[in-house]
Amino acid sequence: EIVSWLKKDWNTTIVRAAMGVEDPGGYIENKNGNKNRIKIIVEAAISEGIYVIIDWHSHHAEDYENEAIEFFQEMATLYGETDHVIYELYNEPLDISWSNTIKPYALAVTAAIREIDPDNLIVVGTPEWSQRIDLAASDPIVEYQNIAYTLHFYTIYHHQWLRDRASSALQSGIPIFVTEWGSIGYSLVDPETNKWMDWCFANKVIHCNWAVNDKEEEWSIVIPGASTTGGWDDNDLTEAGKLAKNIISNWPKVVH
């Protein structure tokens, strides 16, 4: 119901299904229960004709390479023949080596996916919470096609310096995918969000706002207790939600 509502009311063209991995209650503790939750979102997106990112939402994915391979093999087998599915192999690596840790992990998981699904987009996280896009640009994956690299930003922390880094990476020839971004959250006035949206629009970079949550968090789009089946009005939306809806609903017109 939520996926349907986001498409209908927000003009959403993509959703991201974030599979928590090592945290309490995540995939490692409850594989089948969490896989079933992921399948609901993926199948809803396919039914609605929008894209869906299957996100291995971890800060330590290299420690769970075998589990990631098993998971993505199943997802590729189930959904690899559809055009809607995007595989995100590593949400946010910490301050670890791109070339020695993240890239080898990504190659191993990509190889497993490509044996089943030869062409759907794969997105690979980058060091320092997916901000060091420059490190991936200097040593990209060349063994496989249709690979993009993750950039995350939160407007209270990440300003022109990160846009400059990302622009340089784009100029080197690698594709960038913003699988997660967040606004200041407590105000509809967020000049950095405007700058980031202008940058995404100018560079044709797709972006997904964090997050479809109702918990007490600055970036949740709905207030605690909002309907879990959609049908929200403005009173159900947080300030972050109002801002995100305005941007998403009116895209590609950049909203100020």
Catalytic sites, residue numbers: 92, 180
C-alpha 61/C-alpha 64 separation (Å) is 5
Residues with Cβ within 8 Å of 49's Cβ and at least 6 positions away in sequence, in order, are: 84
Residues with Cβ within 8 Å of 86's Cβ and at least 6 positions away in sequence, in order, are: 51, 52, 53, 54, 120, 121, 122, 123
C-alpha 192/C-alpha 198 separation (Å) is 10
Q: At what angle do helices 239-250 and 191-203 cross, to 10 degrees?
A: 30
Alpha helices by DSSP H, listed for the chain, are 2-10, 31-48, 65-79, 103-114, 127-130, 133-138, 160-172, 191-203, 239-250
